[in-house]
Amino acid sequence: MPRRRMDWDSYVEDLADRILGSLDYFCWEVSGDTPLDCYRAHSDLDPYELAEEFLGDEYSSYEVRERDLKLLKQMPRAYYDRLRSILQRQIEKVVRNLEKEYATQED
């Protein structure tokens, strides 16, 4: 039976959403740090490290699965780099917004 061709473009978008959703949940609901400190602490992690940190099962609030870790190891470099870029850009955006929010609260 032939293997189904992997749609890496769709997978990168889906996995980015799931990692970012898990990070958001962690930073706002679980972490003992401020959301700003939490996001900053995760801003320099690569996609595999982020996925590994938010590995869950069907009963977990985290949406990353073992299969995702395996696929990340097989992912072509160009797609991995694209995933890294999406994650970094979104995390940096949240950090900037939180910095503005905290600066406004201090005034």
Domain coordinates in residue numbering, the chain = 8-106
Cα-based angle 79, 85, 86 (whole degrees, multiple of 5): 90
Over residues 38-58, the mean pLDDT reads: 93
pTM of the model: 0.89
pLDDT for residue 85 is more than 50: yes
Residue 79 binned pLDDT confidence (cut-offs 50, 70, 90) = very high
Q: Residue 1's pLDDT band (boundaries 50, 70, 90)?
A: very low
In whole angstroms, give the CA distance from residue 51 to residue 23: 10
pLDDT of 19 > 50? The answer is: yes
Averaged pLDDT, 31-46: 95
pLDDT at 34: 95
Classify each residue of 37-65 as buried b or exposed e, where b means 16 or more C-beta atoms within 10 Å of its C-beta.
ebbbebeebebbebbeebeeeeeeebbbb
3-class DSSP assignment, residue 19? helix
